[in-house]
Amino acid sequence: AHCGYHVLAIDNGKESIDYLKRENKFTNLETELFDLYKSDFDTLTRRYNVIVVAAILEHLEDPSGILARLIDRADEPCLILGDLPNGYGAAEWVHWLRKKIRRSWGESGSYQKLSDSLRYKHNYDETDSVTLTDTPHVHDFSWLMLRDLMKENRMESIRIRNVDFLIGTPVIQKLLLSTRMAQRVDVAFAQWLPRWMANGWFFSGVCRSGS
């Protein structure tokens, strides 16, 4: 938006949309409460050159189908940008461990203490964020599944890049990655790793509607 392009941000969470409306400083950025399963895609009358799917595909029952419907609203060619967590990365394994402990211990005080120690908290610009909450990931993606999803949606010039290695992984984050410098090293190190070892990926591809 700061470059002057028209941007439409959609989300099915009213709180998120309301927050963006309050904080939005750009006249060329629009917001819309939109459910990817229930809302009518024909109401998206404007055509777009870039579609960003950030932290969303893993939450969808039919990620390929939804992505295809978004691409149908695009101009040709359209650049697709997104990110996706590795469903088998270090952070997801710790998330799985938290859920196993909760099932075994219930909501006891001991569980809460251990759960808090396994929860990574960070602070950016005085805004608290917490990862590894119990937001439902419907799909656990591997990088090969991501690549196949992109090919299935007729994407060309596909690029997949590792995001990081251990950032966001509880305990490890607190012990080894609490500084910006350490996090930069982690990100740089991740670029040398095979795809399956990363905590997640950035991806991009070019597609043509109807091709």
- Per residue in 49-78, pLDDT tens? 999 998 889 988 899 999 998 888 888 788
Give a yes or no: residue 65 inside a domain.
yes
Give a yes or no: residue 131 inside a domain.
yes
**61, two tokens:** 């029952």
Give a yes or no: residue 14 inside a domain.
no
What pLDDT is attached to residue 107?
58
Residue 98: count other Cβ atoms within 10 Å of its Cβ.
Answer: 19
Which range is least confidently modeled, 13-17, 40-44, 107-111?
Answer: 107-111
What pLDDT is attached to residue 175?
74
Q: How confident is the model at residue 109 (pLDDT cuts 50, 70, 90)?
A: low
Tell how far CA 50 is from the center of its chain: 17
- Looking only at the bridges linking them, the beta strands covering 156-162 and 127-130 are unpaired
Give a yes or no: residue 2 inside a domain.
no
Adjacent-strand bridge partners of 74: 48
Q: How many domains does the chain have?
A: 1
Tell how far CA 104 is from the center of its chain: 29
* DSSP per-residue string spanning 93-112: HHHHHHHHHHHHHTT-HHHH
CATH number, residue 103: 3.40.50.150
pLDDT mean across residues, the chain? 81
Distance CA(177)–CA(190), nearest Å, equals: 14
Give a yes or no: residue 155 inside a domain.
yes
Distance CA(208)–CA(78), nearest Å, equals: 6
Give a yes or no: residue 37 inside a domain.
no
- For the cut 60, the answer to whether the pLDDT of residue 111 exceeds it is no
Taking residues 137-152, what's their average pLDDT? 89
Give a yes or no: residue 30 inside a domain.
no
Give a yes or no: residue 9 inside a domain.
no
195, 160 Cβ separation under 8 angstroms: yes
Which range is least confidently modeled, 59-63, 68-72, 108-112, 142-146?
Answer: 108-112
Range of the domain at 64: 47-207
pTM: 0.75
